[in-house]
Amino acid sequence: MNEAARRAVIQRYLDAYNAFDIERMLAQLADDVHFEDVSGGQVTATADGIDAFRRLAEQGCRLFSEREQRITALAFDGDTARVEIAWRGRFAVDVPGGPRAGTQAALQGRSEFTFDGLRIARLVDAS
């Protein structure tokens, strides 16, 4: 798969993420996808396989009333794309010990997408 096709897969995934459309997100993933969320250098969430990813995505949808990931830079290295991301969101619920419902947040992060054919096989989000 060429870089343009991989970029299109990433954009479809992000468009689905921004629209809270879990089914469209999952359509871009390999069945045995591995996902990690890393915050401050610590792994805060993982999912192995499409069903585990679905559960994690459903939790994320309940946490935010709005959210957006936007690509600010993108570089390819073989089967891996390294993406700089601008993220913003508004919490839908109070987070114990954290932000309250209605709080807006924004951050810069990066995501690493590793491909197997036409699907994302590994996704690491870091902030």
Residue 48 included in any domain: yes
d(CA 112, CA 13): 13
Q: 20-68, pLDDT tens digit by residue? A: 999 999 999 999 999 999 998 999 999 999 999 999 999 999 999 999 9
Q: What is the CATH number of the domain that holds 14?
A: 3.10.450.50
Neighbours of 103 (CB within 10 A): 12
For the chain, the domain total comes to: 1
**81-102 pLDDT per residue, tens:** 999 999 999 999 999 999 999 9
Containing structural domain, residue 44 = 3-63+72-86+107-126
Q: What is the pTM of this model?
A: 0.94
In contact, 9 and 30? CB cutoff 8 Å: no
45-52: Cβ within 8 A, 24+ apart: 50/26
Rounded Cα gap, residues 4 and 126, in angstroms: 23
